[in-house]
Structure formats: structure tokens, C-alpha cells
Amino acid sequence: MLGSASLTVADVQQARHLIQASAQSLWPKFQPAQMPLVVYDGQITVLWGAQPVGAGWQANSDYPTEDRWVFQGRHPQVWANTSCQLEEGLLAASLLLPSLPTPCRPTDLAALAVHEAFHVYQRGQAGVTWQINELDALTYPATDSALLVHRAMELQALQRALTASAATLPEVAAEVLHWREAQSAHLAPEHIEYIRAAERVEGLAHYVELASKRLNQNFQPLIFPPRRCGCGLIRLAQRMAFYWIDCCPTGKNGSLPKVPHLMNCWVRLLACIIPAGQFHLIFSIGRVLPPKKNCCISNGSCKHSTLGPVRN
């Protein structure tokens, strides 16, 4: 793969094998190995994981034991690396292989497929939590100097918070929130929601992409800030949860200690990125990145949480 001029269907098949062989839980109820995947390699479109119902699809006789279907040319719905909707509402992760840089390692291609599969998961959820109104981007005040300064300060604070010591973590996390909230004064409600939705949709997809490779966030704030910032926020919320559990004495009956300023900061962080009503997910996704050794949060049965055992 590393020496090839362009990616092939065989490369994608190798990436799929990596996804299917992984036992990682990246996000509750998200199972990337079971998500349909469709790719265009420059000549044909190939679909795995579902049986298409539209005209033009043919079973691949070269691989009779695999759930693989072929469409000659580029299927009209496969136009980018994203999630797409095929005939009869079939949702699938899509990869446009000619658009991807080479060389590309199998783990990187698999992680990208996981990223796009997470968008399929998001689209399959009820409600509008995972939707972005892209029209609001047209009126977003992107040239507001004060807004740009506050955004830059937030990203710098977030970068420091991801590596801050336990002693300074609450203070730096509060600084992230300070600069984040300072931006709100320069934004209309629809622009605030646009940024939050972009961070939620792209940031969490980027998070599971990195987690699938067991990588820590390589924070690059100048590259598509909503994606990086959203991913950084969920990482910071995890760090705060671990700090809360590991560094503070437990309350009665083993519940999380009631430290008002810490609780307030943590909840505000979660509200930035986790869908409403799903704050408990932080204890489940905490298993993706290694917490403090021997902490019971790592095996999904955190006795410190008043929310009970984790269930995917």
C-alpha cells in the first residue's frame, strides 16, 4: 500500500479487516464494523455490508463469500469522503479513493472509514442533535477581530489544558471556558449553535478516528478549528472526569465528591460537546484512552459514579 500510486479496493478491504478485527468500544452503541461502506476507486463503486436495491448494482462474482456489490462507474451519491444515502434510504460511509493522499497506511485508511462510519451513526440518531445548518456559516462574522482573538485564546488554553498537571488542570479548564464564553458576546444565537454543532458532529467523529488508532490528540488548532476543538473538548472532559475521580476524596456511599466549582466546570465542558441528556457517556468513552492505572472506570464499572455501571 505504501508504495502504490493510488488507493485500490484491495487497500480498502485490508482496512475493513482491521476494523472488523478490533474489539475497541469507541462510542456507546457505535459499531463501525457493521456499518455499510461504499467506495469509488476511479473506475467502479463497491459496496460492503448491505444489499443495495437500486438498478446497476451487481454481486461481485470474484468474491462470492463476501458481501460485496459493484456499480460500474461512480455512483451518483458517492461524491466525497462523508456519509451518503443510497437507494431506499440506505446510509453508508463513503470514501472517494482518488481524493485521498498516498501513501496511506492501512491503519490510517481504516481510521478514516471509522470517521465516516460515525457520521452514519450520527445520521441514524433521532432528533436534530447531530445536524449542522450550513447556511448559518454564510453570515458567520469570520472577520470580527475580537472574535478571532478570543477564539485563538481558547485554542491556546485548550492546548495547554490537554497536557496540564493535575494541580493546574481545573484552573486551565476554567480558562478554556472563559474564552469560549467571551466569544458568545460577538455571535448571534444561530452562529453559536452552528459552531457547537460543527464541533459536536466533526469533533466527535475526529475523536473516534484517533481513538481507533489508539492515538492521543495531535492538537493542530489552525486546521479546521471546529474539528480540532471539538475533539480537544471531549479529551479535556475526560481528563476532568479522571481528575475528579482520582484526585478528590469520594463522597458518601462512594459517590463522586461534590466539589461545586469542579462540578460546574465539568458540566459546562460537557454541555459544549456531548449531546443533551447523554452526559453519562463520558464514563463509557473514558475506556478509550487509558485512565489512571487500576481505576475502575477503565473496565466499565466505575464505583465512584452515581450513574451506575456502563452499558453500551
Extended beta strands in 74-209, E state: 82-85, 91-96
Residues 19, 113 contacting (CB under 8 angstroms): yes
Could you read off the pLDDT of 172-202 as tens digits, one per residue?
Answer: 989 999 999 999 899 999 999 898 888 888 8
pLDDT at 307 over 70: no
Listed residues 123, 150, 165: the one ending a domain: 123
Q: Who wins on pLDDT, 226 or 135?
A: 135
- CA distances to 137, 142, 143, 157 from 146, rounded to whole Å, are 18, 10, 9, 17
Listed residues 123, 150, 184: the one ending a domain: 123
Residue 73 lies in domain = 9-123
Lowest-confidence range among 186-190, 194-198, 226-230, 254-258?
Answer: 254-258
The whole-model pTM stands at: 0.79
Tell me: do 62 and 163 sit in the same domain. no
From CA 117, how far away is CA 49, in angstroms rounded? 12
> Beta strands 44-48 and 37-40: pairing type?
antiparallel
Q: Who wins on pLDDT, 263 or 49?
A: 49
Listed residues 96, 123, 150: the one ending a domain: 123
Predicted confidence at residue 223, as pLDDT, reads: 43
Tell me: do 16 and 107 sit in the same domain. yes
Longest dimension (CA), the chain: 64
Residues 103, 3 contacting (CB under 8 angstroms): yes
306 domain residue, yes or no: no
User: If phi over 0 gives left and psi between -120 and 50 gives alpha, with beta otherwise, what is residue 48?
Assistant: beta
Predicted confidence at residue 287, as pLDDT, reads: 42
Could you read off the pLDDT of 145-158 as tens digits, one per residue?
Answer: 999 999 999 988 99
Structural domain total, the chain = 2
